[in-house]
Structure 1
């Protein structure tokens, strides 16, 4: 609408300035159309540079997210640094276990926060702020130009305590370490058996009834030792930023 008005003011100014003879009426029209031209240009400039007629509106969206880890038994939230300084990062996850992984918006105006909760599922809460027109009049006046323009976003990724948070590089390192654990040397096998035996003794001490069921006892001991090895592997890669 503002462009149509500007066009009419320019045409009116041209016609009154060129086509009319000198008179009080001509002078008055030149002033009116001149003010219309200047006012229109001023409003357009204010809208472009200062978002005149607009307000910031924030919307909140929450969704369940899933790990992007190929190993469902070891869920993790992946992180990838953005830029050479490494001060900003995007987080990689899935919105559907069967679909490809996605990541948070790569923008300096986006802030991400990761929190661990006692929940069994992970979620992403996004608060997104955009420029919107105050009302229908301003929207029509500026033909809705710039409506929905992104301002900022704050993401909170709430993940279960069982999840790990690793960079993509650390995840690759962890994968290599875990593959190596699947093919232990004779010395490592002996050390592992010793750890399982010690863990079994701990379990019996905590629950003497387990001594009567050696199969269950050894399974629990082996699982506990395996978890400790994974935790140690994660701690090792986390030390390498």
Structure 2
């Protein structure tokens, strides 16, 4: 509405100044329309530069976080924007059976952080926007279409220490490396488990079959975790 007043004041001021010949009336109307023109112009500038009539509103949204990787390991993936890896778009899921992954926004108003937690994995998004303080303010300035204008958005990923953060290219390399070394890793795992059982038998010759089976599972899991950590270290060191 303020733009309507601005345009109307400008037109009225021009018509009054050009076509009205009565000096007293001309002076009064010219003053009124001039003041209206300047005032509306100042208000438009203040709304645009200082967000006159608006206030900052922050909302917080929390969603569960699920692994975006296709492997059994929990992963948070990202894609670097640019060559310096200063900005990242994170790739994630909020449901295990989610077919299409979600991504964070790639703009200067969005910041992403990754933190380790002992609680549940989640994504907390805080969004701050400019919103009009009242319907009256929106009535006067809403024609500028700047309501709900984004100021900043902060995404904080809370992941457990067992999660792995990899780029999409590193995740592909990890999958490829795991396939290449699968046969070797199975053979090494078998030897690792056998040695673990032999060591345990020396310490406890009376070990039962159930205890041996539990030990074998634990040793296999330990070897698998170590092997995976080594592969992850390898792909992170690669360019």
TM-score range, shorter chain: 0.7 to 0.9
Runs of 5+ unmatched residues, structure 2:
none
Shift of 1:166: 0.9
Q: Provide closer, same or farther for how the CA distance between residues 43 and 206 of structure 1 changes in structure 2, counting only shifts above 3 A.
A: farther
Matched, 1:95 2:94: yes
SS at match of 2:183: coil
* Deviation sequence 1:19-43 (CA, Å, 0-9, x none): 3223222101101101111221222
Q: Is 1:199–1:225's contact at 8 Å kept on the other side of the alignment? A: no
Is contact 1:68-1:101 (8 Å) kept?
A: yes
Alpha-carbon offset, residue 205 of structure 1: 8.0
**TM-score, length of structure 2 as denominator length:** 0.87
What secondary structure, in the 3-state scheme, does the structure 1 residue paired with 2:22 have?
Answer: coil
- Asked if 1 retains the 8 angstrom alpha-carbon contact of 2:189 and 2:224, the reply is no
Matches of 2:202 and 2:139, distance apart in 1: 76
Structure 2 distance, partners of 1:22, 1:226, is: 96
Q: How much does 1:207 deviate?
A: 8.2
Aligned pairs, how many?
A: 236
Aligned to 2:27: 27
CA contact (8 A) 1:54 1:131 kept: yes
Q: 1:84 aligns to what?
A: 83
Task: Measure the CA separation in 1 of the matches of 2:159 and 2:206.
Answer: 35
- Deviations along 1:7-30, one digit per CA (max 9) or x if unpaired, are 332343234223322322210110
Does the aligned pair in 2 maintain the 1:59–1:127 contact within 8 Å? yes
Stretches of structure 1 lacking an aligned partner (at least 5 in a row): none
Deviation of 1:81 after TM superposition, in Å, equals 0.9
- Structure 2 residue 210 is the aligned partner of structure 1 residue 200: no
Q: CA–CA distance in 2 between the matches of 1:2 and 1:205?
A: 89
Q: CA deviation at 1:107?
A: 1.5
Which residue pairs with 1:134 in the alignment?
A: 133
Q: Give, in angstroms, the shift of residue 133 of structure 1.
A: 1.5
State the Cα deviation string for residues 82-124 of structure 1 (Å, max 9, x = none): 12332111211012332311111111222211112122x4211
Task: Provide the rounded CA distance (Å) in 2 between the counterparts of 1:29 and 1:215.
Answer: 98
Alignment partner of 1:122 is 2:121: yes
